[in-house]
Amino acid sequence: MTDFTIEIDNAVKRYAEHVAVRDLSLRVPRGAVYGLLGPNGAGKTTTIRMILNIIAPDAGSIRILGRPSTDLSITDRIGYLPEERGLYRKMQVRRVLRFLAELKGMNARDADARIDSWLERFDLKTADKDWGLSKIDELSRGMQQKVQFIGTLLHDPDLVILDEPFSGLDPINAQALKDTIVDLKRRGKTVIFSTHIMDNAERICDSVCIIARGEKVLDGSINDIKESHGTRNIALALNGPPSSQVSTILSDRSLVNRVDDSNRYFEVELADGADPQSLLQRVLATGATINRFEIVRPSLHQIFLERVGATGVEVGMSGHG
Amino acid sequence: MGKLWTITKREYLERVRTKWFIIATVFGPIFFGAIIIVPALMAKKSKSSQDYSNTRILDATTTGLGNRIAQSISRGRTAGGAEPQVVLVKPGDLTQAESTATHDVMNKQISGYLIADQLTLNGETVRYAGRNATAIGDMERLRSAVREAVLAKRLEGAGIDSSKVRDITFMPLRLSSDRITDKGRGGSGTVSIIFAGVVAFLLYMTIVLYGQNVLRGVLEEKTTRVAEVVVSSVPSETLLAGKILGVGGVGITQQILWLATTILMFKLRQPILEKFGVATMPFALPDISIGLALLLLLFFLLGFIFYSALYAAAGASVNTEQEAQQAVQPMMLLLVATAIFINPILINPTSTLATVMSLLPFSAPIIMPLRLALGSVPWYEVAISVAGIALACLGATWLAARIYRVGLLMYGKRPTLREMARWVSYSR
């Protein structure tokens, strides 16, 4: 048995007009929560579809759970939540779930028992109402999303793949999803999810891979990535909007390489050789009130912007994610 | 195999549970029942309206032929039927009398008029004008009445006793036709034609309805994106196969239910018709051997697979109902072209057209069963036909599977034919 749930080596996928994935190699450790990060059109969905054997790479090899991705026996051990969600609208919730479970090789009786416990866990079955007996289109959007999570996890997969799982979720469902991911990790499952929201990834993931234009930009554990991006970042919070003097200091290229301006909060990346103390002194000299001044490791968001930049998003490539 | 069954089961059960299926299954036999009862009722109704007192006979022969015609018409009718009115006209006044009669028909005083003149006496022509001039039954009855009257006149002229003439000429002859095939007598010819027509029409309807059903199913899975979840668990070919089998199963279920209830209604038609006060028609069910039934089923299955595979490919290549309507046009063209020929082939089942249409894969699933129902077809033609459709099925499903698995995950604009051709060449 290998230590990796997913091993991709030099995978390539070309379409008529563009290359969706070029020479991608990555390793997802067993039991990790792994983030696949990248702007829209970077090749995330194509990568996920190749992992799922929905499409085949033009070149390269993909091994899942120690076997080639074309091995049909592994599909029963994978749970997949696609980016665009939907279920058979006219079908009863319970029947949809049973159908999805049977597609994963479960028998109807085992499925029924699990469906009940999952419906209860997600508040879809309470003392006064069993939504399992309703049709899908009688459910609210949030409830439909819960049903789809259940469908993804019902067969207790070893590998869970979630494509943009947080998009379109209300805060309550987003929290439920986060809790579920953490719970899966504690039970030794591997979770891989794609997102372009870095804050989510930073909080949940053990490791990430950032891809742009179909290529890997960087990958590794969150800690290693942050470590390698040094300690040249400063978190600066002011008690009010910045004066024009402060703005001038922050746009001084000899001192500041880059700044993420959130009005009263700034994430500042110092220029090479610049001293954090001189920045602090110059800002204080303007008379500004500083609420926070801290040397920090860069956020994933900063690293992403730095490494991918605005050019990472190729125009007109959003069709395949 | 287990997953193919899972998909087939879902496709089947979800469709059988719909209101649409239940309604169609119940109304089908009612519709067929109406086909049997309504003509019988109509026949009864038109019989009672065969009151010829509203018909005027303009007799310009001066030989009393008009009165004889009137007698002939009323003879053999139910008792109390009034005779038509006879007006004797001089040959010179005929034009005047005719225009008066025309006005009377227009004013609805009479329903029509018959002109008996020298030509009629010669047995050459007899003219009729009236509101019911298009009713084939009425016209046939008038013609035979006139024929009878002229014949009686001639017999009398030859010196035969007038009381005997009545008996000699009275002849309500009916034609009853039997079909003979290679296997011997095969029941009534009319029944065979009706049966063959019904079979062909049913096949056509079922293929169109359930083909569209496959298309809508594919489109639903694509637009709701369920397809993506399913094809992450099973190969897209399995999904396609399960869908076609499931929907085909619904089609066969419906046809068996329709057939069973229709046969039952045929068996019970006497009491039902009596309720409507109509006498039972001399109408027998055609003898369908098990072999023929199985052969018909085979043709339905092959035809359904051929067309539904194409419908599935069309469904996978589009994103909306409107686009789907355009995408199905090639299939509809083939099906409608076939349906247009049902009638000519019914009339002339041994023509070259019938033979060719029953061998071409796209029309064979409808036309060959029609020929089989009409009479015997050489076994080698059946074999060629089956082999042809089977091959076409293989080709269509292969093509459809390739377009399907790419199209299912493609959103956005509708592909051009060239793009679809490229999809076929994609490895996966």
Interface test with A, best of B232, B416, B423 (most A CBs within 10 A): B232
| Min distance A157 CA to chain B CA atoms (Å) | 12
Residue among A49, A91, A319 whose CB faces B14 most closely = A91
A75 and B10 within 8 Å at the Cβ level: the answer is no
For the CA atoms of B269, B274, B277, B281, the dihedral, rounded to the nearest 10 degrees, stands at 40
Residue B136 CB-density burial (10 A; 0-12 exposed, 13-18 middle, 19+ buried): exposed
CB B15 within 8 A of CB B247: yes
Tokens of A139: 């459910």
Confirm or reject contact between A86 and chain B (CB < 8 A). Answer: yes
Q: How many Cβ atoms sit within 10 Å of the Cβ of residue B359?
A: 18
CB A40 within 8 A of CB A310: no
Residue among A72, A88, A319 whose CB faces B226 most closely = A88
Angle between helices B417-425 and B379-407 in degrees, nearest 10: 90
> Residue A106: which H helix or E strand, with range?
none
Residue among A75, A88, A102 whose CB faces B6 most closely = A102
**pLDDT at residue number A155:** 92
Token look-up 């298009």 returns: B134
- Enumerate the β-bridge partners of residue A11: A24
Q: Could you report the per-residue pLDDT of B201-223, keeping only the tens digit for each?
A: 888 888 888 888 899 999 888 88
ipTM summary value: 0.80
Residue B64 CB-density burial (10 A; 0-12 exposed, 13-18 middle, 19+ buried): middle
| Residue in A135, A139, A143 with CA at minimum distance from that of residue A92 | A135
A84 and B225 within 8 Å at the Cβ level: the answer is yes
Token look-up 């790479």 returns: A57
Distance CA A245, CA B300 (A): 84
Distance CA A71, CA A68 (A): 6
A:139-168 residues touching chain B, CB 8 A cutoff: 151
CA distances from residue B173 to A109, B69, B76, B144 in whole angstroms, order as listed: 71, 17, 11, 10
A:57-76 residues touching chain B, CB 8 A cutoff: 58, 72, 75-76
**pLDDT at residue number B280:** 53
Confirm or reject contact between A25 and chain B (CB < 8 A). Answer: no
Distance CA B193, CA B184 (A): 17
**pLDDT at residue number B126:** 87
Distance CA B304, CA B312 (A): 12
Tokens of B260: 């069973």
In A, minimum Cα distance to B224 occurs at A86
Q: Which amino acid is at B397?
A: T
- CB contacts of B225 in chain A (<8 Å) are 82, 84-86
**pLDDT at residue number A320:** 40
CB A40 within 8 A of CB A212: no
Q: Could you report the per-residue pLDDT of B373-400, keeping only the tens digit for each?
A: 877 788 899 999 999 999 999 888 888 8
CB B181 within 8 A of CB B378: no
A-B CB pairs within 8 A amount to 68
**Angle (CA) B136 B138 B143, round 5°:** 90
**pLDDT at residue number B386:** 93
Q: Cα–chain-centroid distance for residue B261?
A: 19
Average pLDDT for runs of 10 along chain B of length 428: 89 90 82 68 55 82 84 64 79 86 86 86 86 73 85 84 77 67 57 76 86 90 87 88 92 83 73 63 61 83 90 87 87 89 82 88 88 82 92 89 82 73 69
Q: Cα–chain-centroid distance for residue B81?
A: 35
- CB contacts of B17 in chain A (<8 Å) are none
Burial B251-277 (b: 16+ CB within 10 A, else e): bbebbebbbebbeebbeebeebbeeee
| Residue in B57, B62, B65 with CA at minimum distance from that of residue B83 | B57
* Pairing state between β A207-212 and A33-37: parallel
Torsion-angle region of residue A309: left (phi > 0), alpha (psi -120 to 50) or beta?
Answer: left
- CB contacts of A95 in chain B (<8 Å) are 10, 14
Token look-up 């091994």 returns: A63
CA distances from residue B275 to B28, B201, B266, B268, B270 in whole angstroms, order as listed: 21, 29, 15, 11, 9
| Tens digit of each residue's pLDDT, chain A (321 residues) | 568 899 999 999 888 778 889 889 999 999 999 999 988 888 888 899 999 988 888 899 999 998 888 888 898 999 999 888 788 988 999 999 999 999 999 988 899 999 999 999 888 888 888 999 999 999 988 888 889 989 999 999 999 999 888 887 888 888 888 899 999 999 999 999 998 888 888 888 999 999 988 888 888 998 888 888 876 788 899 888 888 888 888 888 888 888 888 888 888 888 888 888 888 999 888 988 899 998 888 888 888 887 887 544 444 333 343
| Residue in B54, B84, B80 with CA at minimum distance from that of residue B71 | B84
Q: How many Cβ atoms sit within 10 Å of the Cβ of residue B2?
A: 10
The answer to whether the Cα torsion of A168, A119, A80, A221 is positive or negative is positive
**pLDDT at residue number A319:** 38
